[in-house]
Amino acid sequence: MIHLSTSLSAPKVLSLLDEQYYTDTFTFFKKIESNILNGYNLEISFSSCIEIEPSAALLLFSTVNFLHMKYGFNRIKIKQLALGSTLSYDAALSRSGVWEALNCKCVQDVENLVIQNNKFKTSCDQSILKKADEILRGIKDLSQEHIFFLNLAMKEAVLNVIYHAYIDKSGIVSPDELGIRWWQCAWVNTKQKTVNIIIHDRGVGVLGSYKNGQDDENALNEAFLQGYSRSGLVNRGMGSEDMKSPVNELMGQHTLTVLTGEFVYEYQLRTIQPIITKRKVAICGTLVHWNCSYGNV
């Protein structure tokens, strides 16, 4: 089949969290998908983009990689950054491995992201978490406590993907030919002394699988309380505390942010209750992001 070609430019800032930029960011991701679904080959340029924050980088990888694997690796091309462009001077971004991950040319390249332990990778196999652990252990000044609680939280998030993300409230399993898959990254900013662990699935979303009869902020808050789960059984759903453990147990400034559907759930110790906001734009599936300071910060 012959496809027409078109181009798309990324907005000035790609951010899922900043109120000023998130609408343009989600519009950009929707345009990537719609161009491919409408039969176009797409070239994406970042010449006007000056910043890509970590969770937006993972969603970019998830979006492009999903479309690559589903519709063909030749359908999306990432235009090489020009020398001297703002993004080319972003050391944390350059070292993150995102550009290599976005430029996979075949399934073997995708598998090599895991084999070579690129910070950006995708899998249907939870053994991938061992690779994330290797990355954490390689970060200078990252404490053993950070490694333990981040590993604990990641494991629970991946188990949620495996057992819940692609199953709706009626118990219907909905993954496509790519399987029960997630995309993850371990983004380290050594200058700011922060580590970002991010996991994204393209499933039904937390409220799409949670069986409490509601579809609002209260249901989302309940889903992250100890002892609640989609099963409705008593003393299940204890894993939500594992997901919160980096925030609860580590010294420093830490935030757990979950984007699912139209909702953003933010949990940190300095607020008495989690902050839940509803937006006019929705994310596909669920994205979980731990942002943790380390060292002497």
Task: With a cut of 70, say whether residue 297 has pLDDT above it.
Answer: no
Give, in order, the Cα–Cα distances in Å from 223 to each of 115, 206, 227, 230.
34, 8, 9, 8
Tell me the HSE value of 205 on the side-chain side, using a 13 A CA sphere: 16
| Closest listed residue to residue 285, CA positions, set 196, 214, 223, 200 | 200
Q: Output the pLDDT for position 157.
A: 96
Task: With a cut of 80, say whether residue 229 has pLDDT above it.
Answer: no
pLDDT, mean of residues 49-56: 97
Structure tokens at 24: 């343009």
| Closest listed residue to residue 223, CA positions, set 185, 155, 276 | 276
Tell me the HSE value of 126 on the side-chain side, using a 13 A CA sphere: 12
Q: Output the pLDDT for position 234.
A: 45
Mean pLDDT of the chain: 91
pLDDT in tens, 2-42: 889 999 999 999 999 999 999 999 999 999 999 999 999 99
pLDDT in tens, 55-78: 999 999 999 999 999 999 999 999
pLDDT, mean of residues 265-293: 93
pLDDT in tens, 194-209: 999 999 999 999 988 7
Answer whether 76's CB lies under 8 Å from 64's CB. Answer: yes
Answer whether 54's CB lies under 8 Å from 17's CB. Answer: no
